[in-house]
Amino acid sequence: MSSRLALKFCGLQLSSPIVLLSGCVGFGEEYTRVEGFSNQDVGAIVLKGTTSQPRLGNPPHRLWETPSGMLNAIGLQNPGIDKVVTEILPSLNFSETCFIANVCGSTVDEYAEVTRRFDDSPIDAMEINISCPNVKEGGVAFGNYPDMSARVVEACRDVTDKPLITKLSPNQTDIAANARACIEAGSDALAVINTIMGMAIDVETQRPIIGNVQGGLSGPAIRPIALLKVHQVYEVAGPQGIPILGQGGIETAADAIEFLLAGATTIGLGTALFYDPLAAKKINSGIEEYLGRHGFSSVADLTGQLNLSDMQNTPASG
C-alpha cells in the first residue's frame, strides 16, 4: 500500500483511511479470514458493540434489504464485556491492523464500566455508541440530546486515557451542537453518522417486517444525508483539530473522496461489505489514482478541501 494513503487518526498510525464499521465484521476475526484480505487495505476495524452483560438481541426479522439500503435491528447481540476481553481480544492479531472497541450501554454507569474494562486491554481505541436507549430516561437515545451525550462521554473519559471516538446520531435536531458538547466533554474524535431510523411493512399481512418494528437504515440511500452531516460537524470539529470518521453509504472511491473533502479524516465501510467484502482494495486504488491526478502528496491533504468559493450560503428551498 502506498505511503500516500497512510495517516494518523487519534494518535494511531493507519495504513489506509478505510475503517471497517461496527456490526459489519463481527469481532474482526471473521473478516480477516476472507480470501484476498490484506491488512494493508484496512486502517482499522471497529468491533461489534459490547455491553456489560451478554445480550441475545432482538427477535427476527433483524435485517431487511430496501431500495439502495438495508434496515437492521440486531439489538446489540453480544457475549458481554467479560468474554470479549478474556476470550475474543486475545485471539486477535493486533499487528495486523488497529482494533477499536464499540462501547454500548443503557445507563451512564454501564458505559463507564465497559470503557474501564476495555481500558485494561490491548484495544487501540474506543467508539462510544451513544445511540443506545437511556433506560433511566424512559428509553430516549442518549445521542439525540447534547447534554445526555456529554454525560456519557465525560463518564467514559474519566476512566480511560485511550482515544475516544463518539458516534453521533443523525436522528437529532442539531448535530453540530451535539458534536460541540462531546468535544468539550473529552471526545478525541467523532464518527458521523450512525444509521437513520426507518421501517418496512409487509402489505399482505399488514405487519412490520422488522421484529423490533423499526430499524437503522444504512447504505447508499443515506449517503447525501451523511455527507451533509460530516460537513456540518467539520465546521465545529475542524478548527479544533478533532478528526472525523465519515460514514454512511460509501461504496466507491468517489464516495470516499466526497466525505474526505467534506471534512472526514477517515472513511467507514459497512453495508457495502455485505455484497463486496473486498471493496476496501478498490476504494484505496481509486483514492490513490485521484491523489496522483490532482497532485496531492497524501490522503490527509484532502480533508476539508471542499471548495465553497462563490457559493451562496442560503437555506434549501422546498
Catalytic residues: 132
Total Cβ atoms within 10 A of residue 173? 9
User: Do residues 88 and 27 make contact, with C-beta atoms less than 8 angstroms apart?
Assistant: yes
User: Do residues 221 and 70 make contact, with C-beta atoms less than 8 angstroms apart?
Assistant: no
Work out the burial of residue 164: count CB atoms within 10 Å of its CB; fewer than 13 is exposed, 13-18 middle, 19 or more buried.
buried
d(CA 149, CA 183): 10
d(CA 278, CA 38): 9
- With b meaning 16 or more CB within 10 Å and e meaning fewer, what string describes 84-113? bbeebbeebeeebbbbbbbbbbbbbebbbb
Indicate the Cα dihedral angle 223, 208, 145, 115, nearest 10°.
-90
